[in-house]
């Protein structure tokens, strides 16, 4: 059992024998670990049916579990020792204790991930073992696009549990786009009254002739988001919200037409976009637009406090794929550029992003955006999500900026997992489980000092062709398990990684995912109900370029 752990720990020493957990097994929490104890007691009571009495003294946890902090361990590091006296889980901090508790759950077997006991006569044992572990990267993330297809609050909470089970610690929520605005802003109610739903939805790639003529929509109230943030914090996960500007903004313009380039197009006639691709309708680069989004961000900062979890000071402002044709045609935009002494439209976007860079910094927060925001320069505290390849991350790190590596050629999980004809709505390059497992977030050309700028990595799940939870699960798993190991574990160089060994460990991990109800892609290909015959995708042949 210790050899099936995912992500792989740094050190495992197997002992002889096992600890048997019974009705008498207690759970003791040293100071600083009480929150982990509440979580662990809850999941273990549900799965095992054992009472897991809260022990008042460490000795009462004999043949049970003791949680403790250890001064010799670093942030998020843990040590798990199972022996004759029971199980001790120590962490460098509460997050480390939680990670150790997740490892304990894996050691108990797949049924420990269920919500109720499946066999009342089950004997629960933990093999005698010592596990020493710590993460490679600080930022180990998942981006969920809830704008293209809305994921109800319960689905987001479920994904936080799945992330925690894989020792991931950053949820990047893509809350706004052309196809939907998903966050309540009280001073601008039309953002959700109008912008949160669309009349119909393209099925498949934008060239597909198929449509779903049902309205699609939804949004999170501010209290919904506070609940998500609090739920994440209990699992030592930080939530980074994204409000995408100045492109990807047609839903906002449909709600408030004055935000668009109304001297070029009839913005009052725009609706929330019902198809996919890069949209030409972008925000007008005016002072009024800045004031509007300052109002949005003021409410957002209150809902997403800076002390709620890892990397909580960050706010993502997008900045990608801003088509500037309307700015070139707009007299208002040209006059604004001339007034500011800017050379062209690219400089105008840099001014736009730079404004929010300073605005957030003045409030003790940090801006992060897609790698296009590098154009024109950034303030020292800003960070970059490198999505178009490695190049943006290299440029950012060499300029002294922190980087999250998420190149689309490697870790965009909307991309297809196989070249076979049964792959549902095939998008992009083939990225197999092995491809993700051999991904390395650190570009080889960086110096040791520049490599320190790589905060970590995340997988991005864009949901244009993922209409429900099952489709999100299929595209995300099992590849997220591979990304989790890349982000957490100290692995050899990509070519030297033991993928067959990882596949063997995945045999047990699939049982865990089954217990969690995850509709993953089976190793042999999609099940009949996971296919989407006749739905046009956008496959790209050949290996992805090294960018």
Catalytic residues: 177, 248, 321
* Residue 90 CB contacts under 8 Å (≥ 6 apart), including other chains: 67, 68, 69, 70, 73, 78, 79, 80, 81, 96, 97, 100
* The 11-21 sheet, strands edge to edge: 11-21, 124-133, 78-83, 86-91, 65-69, 26-29, 53-54
CA–CA dist 146, 51 (Å, integer): 38
| DSSP codes of every residue in 320-389 | -S---HHHHH-HHHHHHHHHHT--SHHHHHHHHHHHHHHHHHHTT-EEEEEGGGGTT---TT-EEEE-S-
How many angstroms separate the CA atoms of 494 and 438, rounded?
5
Residue entry with tokens 């919200």: 241
Cα separation of 400 and 232, whole Å? 30
CA distance 467 to 378: 36
Neighbour tally for 77: CB within 10 Å: 21
175 near 160, Cβ under 8 Å?
no
Q: What is the 3-state secondary structure (H, E, C) of 301-318?
A: HHHCCCCCCCCCCEEEEE
d(CA 246, CA 373) in angstroms, rounded, equals 11
| Cβ–Cβ < 8 Å for 47, 112 | yes
Rounded-to-integer distance, Cα 75 and Cα 138, Å: 9
Angle between the 469-476 and 479-488 helix axes, to the nearest 10 degrees?
50
| Matching residue, tokens 């099925």 | 203
* Torsion angle (degrees, nearest 10) of CA 110, 111, 113, 114: 150
| Closest C-alpha among 431, 420, 287, 302 to residue 365 | 302
CB atoms within 10 A of CB 419: 12
Q: How far is the C-alpha of 525 from the C-alpha of 538, rounded, in Å?
A: 19
Contact call for residues 237 and 201 (beta carbons, < 8 A): no
CB neighbourhood size of 377 (10 A)? 12
Among 353, 348, 345, CA closest to 370: 353
Degrees, nearest 5: CA angle 44-45-49: 115
What's the CA gap between 496 and 518, in Å, rounded? 30
């Amino acid at each position: 059992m210790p050899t099936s752990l995912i992500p792989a720990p740094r050190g495992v020493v197997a002992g002889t024998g096992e600890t048997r957990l019974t009705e008498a097994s207690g759970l003791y929490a040293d100071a600083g670990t009480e929150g982990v104890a509440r979580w662990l007691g809850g999941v273990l009571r549900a799965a095992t049916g054992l009472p897991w009495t809260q022990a008042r003294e460490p000795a009462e946890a004999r043949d049970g579990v003791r949680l403790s902090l250890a001064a010799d361990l670093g942030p998020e590091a843990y040590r798990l020792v199972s022996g004759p006296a029971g199980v001790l889980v120590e962490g460098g901090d509460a997050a480390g204790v939680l990670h150790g508790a997740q490892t304990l759950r894996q050691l108990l077997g797949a049924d420990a991930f269920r919500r109720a006991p499946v066999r009342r006569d089950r004997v629960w044992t933990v093999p005698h073992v010592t596990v020493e572990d710590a993460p490679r990267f600080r930022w180990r993330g998942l981006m969920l696009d809830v704008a293209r297809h809305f994921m109800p609050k319960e689905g987001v909470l479920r994904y936080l549990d799945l992330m925690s089970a894989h020792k991931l610690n950053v949820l990047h929520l893509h809350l706004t786009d052309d196809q939907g605005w998903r966050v309540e802003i009280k001073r601008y109610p039309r953002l959700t009254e109008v912008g949160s739903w669309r009349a119909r939805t393209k099925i498949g790639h934008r060239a597909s002739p198929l449509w779903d003529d049902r309205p699609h929509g939804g949004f999170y109230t501010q209290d919904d988001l506070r609940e998500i943030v609090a739920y994440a914090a209990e699992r030592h996960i930080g939530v980074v919200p994204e409000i995408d500007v100045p492109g990807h903004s047609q839903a906002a313009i449909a709600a408030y037409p004055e935000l668009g380039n109304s001297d070029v197009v009839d913005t009052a006639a725009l609706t929330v976009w019902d198809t996919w691709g890069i949209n030409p309708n972008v925000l007008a680069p005016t002072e009024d637009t800045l004031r509007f989004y300052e109002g949005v961000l003021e409410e957002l900062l209150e809902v997403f406090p800076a002390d709620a979890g890892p990397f909580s000071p960050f706010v993502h402002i997008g900045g990608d794929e801003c088509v500037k044709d309307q700015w070139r045609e707009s007299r208002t935009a040209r006059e604004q550029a001339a007034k500011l002494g800017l050379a062209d439209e690219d400089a105008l976007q840099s001014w736009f992003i730079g404004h929010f860079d300073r605005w957030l910094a003045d409030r003790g927060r940090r801006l992060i955006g897609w790698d296009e925001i590098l154009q024109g320069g950034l303030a020292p505290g800003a960070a970059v999500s490198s999505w178009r390849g490695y190049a943006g991350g290299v440029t950012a790190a060499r300029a002294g900026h922190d980087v999250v590596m998420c190149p689309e050629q490697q870790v965009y999980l909307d991309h297809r997992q196989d070249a076979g004809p049964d792959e549902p709505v095939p998008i992009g390059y083939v990225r197999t489980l092995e491809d993700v497992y051999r991904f390395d977030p650190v570009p080889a050309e960086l110096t040791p000092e520049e490599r320190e700028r790589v905060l970590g990595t995340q997988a991005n799940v864009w949901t244009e062709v993922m209409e429900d939870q099952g489709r999100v699960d299929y595209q995300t798993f099992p590849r997220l398990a591979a990304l989790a190991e890349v982000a957490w574990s100290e692995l050899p160089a990509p070519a030297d990684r033991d993928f067959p060994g990882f596949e063997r460990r995945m045999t047990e991990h699939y049982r865990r995912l089954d217990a969690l109800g995850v509709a993953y892609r089976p190793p042999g290909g999609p099940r009949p109900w996971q296919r989407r015959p006749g739905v046009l995708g956008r496959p790209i042949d050949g290996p992805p370029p090294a960018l």
